[in-house]
Amino acid sequence: MIEYLIDGPLWYFSLAVFCIGVLWQLASIVFAKGKTDLSVARGSAGRGAIRNVFSRFMPHREIAPQIRVQVVAGYMFHLGLFALLFFAAPHVLFLEEHLLGFGWTPMPHWAFIVASQFAFLGLIILWLRRMLNPVSRLISTLDDHVAAILTFIVMLTGCLALLEGFTALRLLHRFSVELLLIYFPFSCLMHTFTFIPSRAFTGAWFGRRGIDA
Amino acid sequence: MRIQTLLLLFCLVLPQLSSAAGPPKSQDSPQGVSSINPGADLWREVRQRDGEILEGISQVKSVDSGFLINARGDEWARFRITKLSSYGGIAIAAIFVIVTLLYVVRGKIPIEGGLSGRMVRRFTDYERIVHWTLAIVFLFLAITGLILLLGKSLLLPILGKEVFSLFASASKEGHNLFGPLFLVSLIMMFLSFARRNIYENGDLTWLLKGGGLIGKGHVSGGFFNMGEKTWYWMVILIGFVIAISGLILVSPFFGQGRWIMELSHVVHTIGALILMTVSVGHMYLGSIGSEGALEGMKSGYVDINWADAHHDRWGKVCHDENLIVSAEDYARLQGRKPGDTGELATEQGK
């Protein structure tokens, strides 16, 4: 019964909430009416947008020493998670069989282990910094903590089910993924889709005013 | 009909097989009577019960492939089941009993004069991140490791075979995956704290006075006292032994034989049990056992009275160099409103 629910209706429901929620959020940003900028352009908005999208991948020299741990852990976590999500053999197989109809070469097992180490260590360090740094703690919301913990649970249940020998462990992982999918559109996890448009928007705004930021 | 044919074939072939497998029979020995088990000598050789370890020849070319049966494996398995698991379980249970008794008898060790509210910076954000990363990874490995070590005797009767096998499988995967993280966080810990944990003059006095348990008053200590330094070097040295032996166990494809694997397993388990046992004491003294101690790893600041009481030589440096911040400044640094001293106010009010 539980197996049927998790593999069937709950999976489709969570997928629908995720897709519709993400599209809704993105559409609400795209179609949001802002004030028309009547000022005379002093620079190229497009160039500013592109520059900002790429320049923000590295921290400003002035603040880099203060956030070195955050930057290194951030890259470890995000790159590790990206590799796990799209190149872990069970995920590639799942995407091929259940969603896309085609697959690609998965990463070898040793690479999977390394990627998961990076992702786990990065996430633990990032969450600890959020908790231990007074400024980070002050600006963190419940949403930030829930998102971090939920992501950790998804990663952990996935790794515990690595042997693929127990249905219960696989179901536990899939159930945690479904919770994450439902939570995703209404949380800070939306930065997965909004971080590039957000950078581009800010960059365009600065670029049009001729600000070198 | 088919069964009858098979039985007939079996009867015809069996005498041929037994004559081929058994030793040549003497013409004088009575037919149908044999006092010696023909396989006994063979299996004695295979099990190498005479003590002489013989290596045979095999088409499979790998480490230990010449041994049909690893006779030492029995000894290792018995040692694991009867000694490691039992004594390990007793050690873990004993430390919890000791800590509970200590808390019941002594309670939380107070600071003379209480907390002042004036604070001094003890650890940076990075140092605390390193400490808690190691702590989280260690706790995860300890729990999963104990499930693997003691689960069969403690959890299996309660959970049943199906649920326990699920727990054991998940623990094994999680343990193997988090193991390398322990090594990484151990290296981070070594690089961050090694310099301040080098032994110096005065540390031996701390040891001789049992850290204050023998005699009256607190014993003099620097930034870290002798007990903390010893715990640190235990974590680093035993931790590295555990990590290396764990990597040997989890990577059996580097040509290490059974003997090295067995030794690694025993060393890994004993080292882990020592660290787990002492860590319970460390957790107790760093939290509910000693007033004001946890604040150092939570906020990075400790009360100056705590520093004077437990680390007087470092406390003196803080006084001399005027490193003390007021309760109001501390509240502001922690993102609280001025005047709101948070937990400190609660503790002072007690």
User: What is the pLDDT, as a whole number, of residue B324?
Assistant: 92
Q: Is the pLDDT of residue B186 over 90?
A: yes
Measured between beta carbons, which residues in chain A are less than 8 angstroms from residue B180?
113, 117
Indicate the SS3 state at residue B290: strand
DSSP conformation class of A66 = G
Indicate the SS3 state at residue B74: helix
The candidate with the shortest Cα–Cα distance to A7, out of A172, A182, A185, is A172
Give the integer Cα–Cα distance in Å for A135 and A166.
43
Indicate the SS3 state at residue B324: strand
User: What is the pLDDT, as a whole number, of residue A164?
Assistant: 77
pLDDT above 90 covers a percentage of chain B that reads 48
Q: What is the mean pLDDT of chain B?
A: 83
Classify strands B119-121 and B324-325 as parallel, antiparallel or unpaired. antiparallel
* Predicted confidence (pLDDT) per residue in B103-121, tens digit: 998 888 888 888 898 999 9
Contact between A169 and B165 using a beta-carbon 8 Å cutoff: no
Give the domains, in start order, of chain B with CATH numbers.
117-349 (1.20.950.20)
* Predicted confidence (pLDDT) per residue in B80-90, tens digit: 888 889 999 99
User: What is the pLDDT, as a whole number, of residue B1?
Assistant: 44
Measured between beta carbons, which residues in chain B are less than 8 angstroms from residue A162?
173, 177
Measured between beta carbons, which residues in chain B are less than 8 angstroms from residue A88?
none
Contact between A133 and B125 using a beta-carbon 8 Å cutoff: yes
Contact between B125 and A166 using a beta-carbon 8 Å cutoff: no
User: What is the pLDDT, as a whole number, of residue A73?
Assistant: 96
Query: B19 pLDDT band (50/70/90 cuts)?
Result: very low
Range among A166-175, B60-69, B129-138, B208-217 rated most confident: B129-138
Higher pLDDT, A203 or B213: A203
Average pLDDT over residues A35-44: 85
Contact between A120 and B169 using a beta-carbon 8 Å cutoff: no
Q: Is the pLDDT of residue B36 over 60?
A: yes
pLDDT above 70 covers a percentage of chain B that reads 83
Q: Is the pLDDT of residue B129 over 70?
A: yes
Give the integer Cα–Cα distance in Å for A78 and A192.
10
Closest-CA residue of B relative to A112 is B177
The tokens 């961050």 sit on which residue? B192
User: What is the pLDDT, as a whole number, of residue B259?
Assistant: 84
Contact between B132 and A121 using a beta-carbon 8 Å cutoff: no
B312: left (phi > 0), else alpha (psi -120 to 50), else beta?
Answer: alpha
**What is the CA angle A11-A123-B228, rounded to 5?**
140
* Predicted confidence (pLDDT) per residue in B276-306, tens digit: 999 999 999 999 988 888 999 999 999 999 9
Give the integer Cα–Cα distance in Å for B327 and A25.
45
User: What is the pLDDT, as a whole number, of residue B7?
Assistant: 44
User: What is the pLDDT, as a whole number, of residue A186?
Assistant: 94
Chain B residue set in contact with A, beta carbons under 8 Å: 125-126, 128-129, 132-133, 136-137, 165-166, 169-170, 172-174, 177-178, 180-181, 184-185, 298-300, 333-335
Query: B9 pLDDT band (50/70/90 cuts)?
Result: very low
Average pLDDT over residues B297-317: 92
User: What is the pLDDT, as a whole number, of residue A163?
Assistant: 78
Choose the weakest-confidence range: B98-102, B142-146, B259-263.
Answer: B259-263
Contact between B169 and A165 using a beta-carbon 8 Å cutoff: yes
User: What is the pLDDT, as a whole number, of residue B51?
Assistant: 64
Higher pLDDT, B128 or B109: B128
Query: B340 pLDDT band (50/70/90 cuts)?
Result: low
Q: How do the residues of chain A divide into helix, strand and coil, expressed in percent and rounded to 5?
A: 75, 0, 25
Chain A residue set in contact with B, beta carbons under 8 Å: 69, 113, 116-117, 120-121, 124-125, 128-129, 132-135, 137-138, 156, 159-163, 165-166, 168-169
Average pLDDT over residues B139-165: 93
Q: In Å, how far is B133's CA from the nearest CA of chain A?
A: 7
User: What is the pLDDT, as a whole number, of residue B33?
Assistant: 62
Measured between beta carbons, which residues in chain A are less than 8 angstroms from residue B165?
166
Q: Is the pLDDT of residue B24 over 50?
A: no
Q: Is the pLDDT of residue B209 over 80?
A: no
Average pLDDT over residues B142-153: 93
Average pLDDT over residues B226-239: 95
User: What is the pLDDT, as a whole number, of residue B8?
Assistant: 44
Choose the weakest-confidence range: A90-99, A149-158, A160-169.
Answer: A160-169
* Predicted confidence (pLDDT) per residue in A160-178, tens digit: 888 778 889 999 999 999 9
Measured between beta carbons, which residues in chain B are less than 8 angstroms from residue A118?
none
User: What is the pLDDT, as a whole number, of residue B48?
Assistant: 67
Contact between A116 and B185 using a beta-carbon 8 Å cutoff: no
**What is the CA angle B248-B251-B255, rounded to 5?**
80
Q: Is the pLDDT of residue A198 over 60?
A: yes
* 8 A C-beta contact, residue A89 and residue A112: yes
Question: Which DSSP helix (H) or strand (E) runs through B285?
Answer: helix B258-285
Q: How many CB pairs under 8 A join A and B?
A: 67
Q: Is the pLDDT of residue B252 over 90?
A: no
User: What is the pLDDT, as a whole number, of residue A119?
Assistant: 96
Classify strands B324-325 and B301-303 as parallel, antiparallel or unpaired. unpaired
Contact between A132 and B300 using a beta-carbon 8 Å cutoff: yes
Q: Is the pLDDT of residue A128 over 70?
A: yes
pTM: 0.84
For B24, residues 6+ apart whose C-beta sits below 8 A from its C-beta are: none
Query: B257 pLDDT band (50/70/90 cuts)?
Result: confident
Average pLDDT over residues B20-45: 61
Average pLDDT over residues A132-145: 93
User: What is the pLDDT, as a whole number, of residue B228?
Assistant: 92
Contact between A129 and B181 using a beta-carbon 8 Å cutoff: no
* 8 A C-beta contact, residue B156 and residue B136: no
Contact between B165 and A166 using a beta-carbon 8 Å cutoff: yes
User: What is the pLDDT, as a whole number, of residue B108?
Assistant: 86
User: What is the pLDDT, as a whole number, of residue B303?
Assistant: 93
